Each structure stands twice: as structure tokens, then as C-alpha cells.
């Protein structure tokens, strides 16, 4: 059995190892949401990962819901991504763009006073206030998308995929996790629609199916990954029928021949507690393509999961923030840098971003 440091053939894309840099929002794109050379430096420092998944990158104006995150909905943004992607490629790395629509996890401050959109008019409860460019705000009650609007949102994903392709990305990951728009459609807690996009599990899955079909038409399904978080409670998620829902999702996605299914299986970022957590081994039974695990993994757990055959790839988030040369450190058993202070996660500028040192003996 292969281990964490063995190469991996991701449906024709050769990865140097099985260690993936997880998508990490870092809010360094400025108010116009345009990537820049600082981001190129940051990603290039981490290019020894087998694969980098970019920070969540929005597919349109209404998709925005976080301060100073990048977009992929204008030519200017796609042009600005080019040198960032090239910096990773020059170091021999591979990079996918994570495509993001925040849905109800946004705020009217981001949309000139217009309410954020979602499958249903159900607000986020009991979570931290939303941070907007104007300060902390209570969560809005979102506006439910009209049935006739949904094809336009799917088209936004398609345009974002085209722009990602022009920018040189090796592929895209559809952000279907952590309570953002795709997850809001999938889960019964947030989708109370009575049209063909709500009600049954099959109907709730329809939006993701359409987005995947649209994006795969641009990139080829073998360059499209999907991220899901069946166990998570971030953004007030967690539905009693989570197991049936996510097994259906994985079974349906299996038909596409995707690059991978990325399952946030670990509980380190919160657990809805509605039953037993879903395991990678359950997904293995219904999804036959490459499988990626994430959340709270150590080098040892990750290697064991890959060797046992439960996962092909493991993504690391916080370790990659503080330790740019994570692969070399893991490979050589060198100590990692101390964890980053949370205050730098979404701060702006180079501090706490590109100033974590590589290992020196």
C-alpha cells in the first residue's frame, strides 16, 4: 500500500505526494477582490504540497460574503490569478481553485443593502456575528432564490470555471462544505423549498448536480473536485438525515468520474452530534474515485489512512498556515513551526502570511 509521501495519479494529473494544502481563506485580496503578488509568494512557498486547493474564491458579486476574499467573475481577476498560478507551477506545484458562493452566510452590507440569497429564507442562528467591511453584524434573514434564478447561479459557476481555466489553474474544487450555498441546498435544515430543488434528497442534490455538470463541461470532470462536510456544524448546519443525504450525494457524484471527493470527516472544527460521525470508509463504498480526507489530521493519522486504503489524499489546513514546507518537515520528521495566532488568519498584509520560516538545520 502507498503512503503519504508516494506520488499519486489524480486521473492523469501527477501529484508528487498525497499531502494536499486545504482551502484557506486569508483575506489578502484587497477590497476589489483581485489577487496579487503577495498571494503568489504565499502559494509558491507552499508548492511542495502534492496539490494546493486555493482559498475560497467567489463566482459572482452575490456570492461574496467575507471581507477581502478573491473572486473569479471578472477578466481582471482572472488575469491577476495568472501570475499566482504561474508561481506555483514554476515550483513544480499543482493548484485547483475553490469555487465559492456564500449564500445565506453573507450580509446585505456586501450587496449595497440587498439581502443575501439562499435556498430558503432561514437565517443562521447562534453563531458569531457576521464580519462585514462595516463591522460585526447580526445575520440577515436571506431571500429565497426564485426557481427561475437558479440557472443564472449555475451559469456563474460555469463562468468562474472558464476564468479559472484561462488563469491556468489545473482544476477546480466546488465548495459544497461548511454551510455555504451548495451545502444549504443539500441539507434539509436549510432547504425547505417546494420546487424541484427542495423536498426530497434527490431534489436537494439537484443544484450540486447542475453545478458539477456545468463546471465539468468547462474543465472535464477529471479536473473537478467536490468538497462536502457531512459532520460539520459551522454556519449553523447539521440535519437529522445527514447520513442518507451525503451517501446519496457521493453515490450520484460517482457517476461523473471526478478528480476527487473531498470529505471533511474529522471533528476538530465542530460536530453536529446528531448521530455517529460519517467515516471515510462509508464514502469508499459508494464513491469509487480518489477520496480526500481532512480536519484535525496528524502526519501519523494521515499516513495510516492512506496506507489502510481509506483515503488517497489528506488535506492539511492550519499546519500549512504556519509551516510552508510542511511536506519536507513531515518527510524528515522535523518539528513544525508553532501554530499561527488566529488573529493573523484573516488580517491583511504580509505579517502572519508569508513570514513563517522554512526549516533550517
- The residues in 109-168 that bind ligand FMN, with binding defined as CB under 6 A, are none
Copy the grid coordinates of residue 40.
Answer: 503568489
Q: Does 105 bind ligand FMN (CB under 6 A)?
A: no
HSE of 222 in the Cβ direction (CA atoms, 13 Å)?
Answer: 6
Closer to ligand FMN by Cβ: residue 62 or 182: 182
Question: Which residue numbers are catalytic?
Answer: 180
The rounded distance, in Å, linking the Cα atoms of 24 and 353 is: 11
Closer to ligand FMN by Cβ: residue 199 or 277: 277
Q: Does 268 bind ligand FMN (CB under 6 A)?
A: yes
Stretch that binds ligand FMN, among 19-27, 113-121, 130-138, 278-286 (CB under 6 A): 19-27
Q: In sequence order, which residues have a C-beta less than 8 Å from that of residue 131 and are 6 or more positions away? A: 66, 67, 137, 346
- The residues in 157-176 that bind ligand FMN, with binding defined as CB under 6 A, are 175
Member of 15, 20, 24, 51 binding ligand FMN (CB under 6 A): 24
Contact map string, positions 290 to 329, toward ligand FMN, x by CB under 6 A: ----xxxx------------------xxxx----------
Whether the CB-CB separation of 62 and 180 falls below 8 Å is answered with no
CB environment 180-218: b (16+ within 10 A), e (fewer): bbbbbbbbbbbbebeeebbeebebbbbbbbbbbebbbeb
CB of 147 to ligand FMN, least distance (A): 27
- The residues in 338-357 that bind ligand FMN, with binding defined as CB under 6 A, are 345
Q: Does 23 bind ligand FMN (CB under 6 A)?
A: yes
Give the DSSP H or E segment for 100. Answer: strand 95-100
Member of 10, 22, 80, 84 binding ligand FMN (CB under 6 A): 22
Q: Where are the beta strands (DSSP E) in 208-312?
A: 224-228, 260-264, 291-294
| Residue 341, SS3 per DSSP | coil
Member of 17, 64, 98, 231 binding ligand FMN (CB under 6 A): 98
Q: How far is CA 225 from CA 4, 49, 117, 147, 307, in A?
A: 19, 17, 24, 26, 22
Q: Does 334 bind ligand FMN (CB under 6 A)?
A: no
User: Which residue minimizes CB distance to ligand FMN?
Assistant: 317
- The residues in 46-85 that bind ligand FMN, with binding defined as CB under 6 A, are 55-56
The rounded distance, in Å, linking the Cα atoms of 95 and 72 is: 15
CB of 262 to ligand FMN, least distance (A): 8
| Residue 161, SS3 per DSSP | helix
Q: How far is CA 5 from the centre of its chain?
A: 23
The count of chain residues that interact with ligand FMN, using the rule CB under 6 A, is: 23
Which positions touch ligand FMN (CB under 6 A)?
22-25, 55-56, 98, 175, 177-178, 227, 264, 268-269, 294-297, 316-319, 345
Amino acid at each position: 500500500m502507498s503512503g503519504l509521501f508516494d506520488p499519486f495519479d489524480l486521473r492523469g494529473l501527477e501529484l508528487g505526494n498525497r499531502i494536499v494544502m486545504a482551502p484557506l481563506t486569508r483575506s489578502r485580496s484587497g477590497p476589489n477582490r483581485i489577487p496579487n503578488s503577495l498571494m503568489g509568494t504565499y502559494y509558491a512557498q507552499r508548492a511542495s504540497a502534492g496539490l494546493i486547493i486555493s482559498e475560497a474564491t467567489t463566482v459572482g458579486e452575490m456570492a461574496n460574503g467575507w471581507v477581502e476574499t478573491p473572486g473569479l467573475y471578472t477578466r481582471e481577476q482572472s488575469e491577476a490569478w495568472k501570475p499566482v498560478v504561474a508561481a506555483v507551477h514554476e515550483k513544480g506545484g499543482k493548484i485547483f481553485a475553490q469555487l465559492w458562493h456564500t449564500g445565506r452566510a453573507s450580509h446585505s452590507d456586501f450587496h449595497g443593502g440587498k439581502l443575501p440569497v439562499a435556498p430558503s429564507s432561514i437565517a443562521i442562528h447562534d453563531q458569531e456575528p457576521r464580519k462585514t467591511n462595516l463591522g460585526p453584524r447580526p445575520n440577515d434573514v436571506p431571500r429565497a432564490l426564485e426557481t427561475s434564478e437558479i440557472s443564472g447561479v449555475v451559469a456563474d459557476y460555469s463562468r468562474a470555471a472558464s476564468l479559472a481555466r484561462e488563469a491556468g489553474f489545473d482544476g477546480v474544487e466546488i465548495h459544497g462544505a461548511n454551510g455555504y450555498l451548495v451545502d444549504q441546498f443539500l441539507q434539509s435544515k436549510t432547504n425547505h423549498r417546494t420546487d424541484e430543488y427542495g423536498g426530497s434528497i434527490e431534489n436537494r442534490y439537484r443544484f450540486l448536480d447542475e453545478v458539477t455538470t456545468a463546471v465539468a463541461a468547462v474543465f472535464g470532470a477529471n479536473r473537478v473536485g467536490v468538497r462536502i462536510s457531512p459532520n460539520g456544524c459551522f454556519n449553523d448546519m447539521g440535519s437529522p438525515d445527514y447520513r442518507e443525504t451525503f451517501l446519496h450525494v457521493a453515490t450520484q457524484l460517482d457517476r461523473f468520474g471526478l478528480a476527487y471527493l473531498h470529505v471533511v470527516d474529522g471533528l476538530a472544527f465542530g460536530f453536529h452530534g446528531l448521530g455517529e460521525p460519517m467515516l471515510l470508509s462509508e464514502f469508499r463504498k459508494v464513491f469509487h474515485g480518489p477520496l480526500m480526507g481532512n480536519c484535525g489530521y496528524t502526519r501519523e493519522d494521515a499516513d495510516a489512512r492512506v496506507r489502510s486504503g481509506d483515503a488517497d489524499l489528506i488535506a492539511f489546513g492550519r499546519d500549512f498556515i504556519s509551516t510552508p514546507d510542511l511536506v519536507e518537515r513531515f518527510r524528515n520528521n522535523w518539528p513544525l513551526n508553532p501554530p499561527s495566532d488566529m488573529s493573523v488568519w484573516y488580517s491583511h498584509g504580509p505579517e502572519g502570511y508569508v513570514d513563517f520560516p522554512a526549516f533550517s538545520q
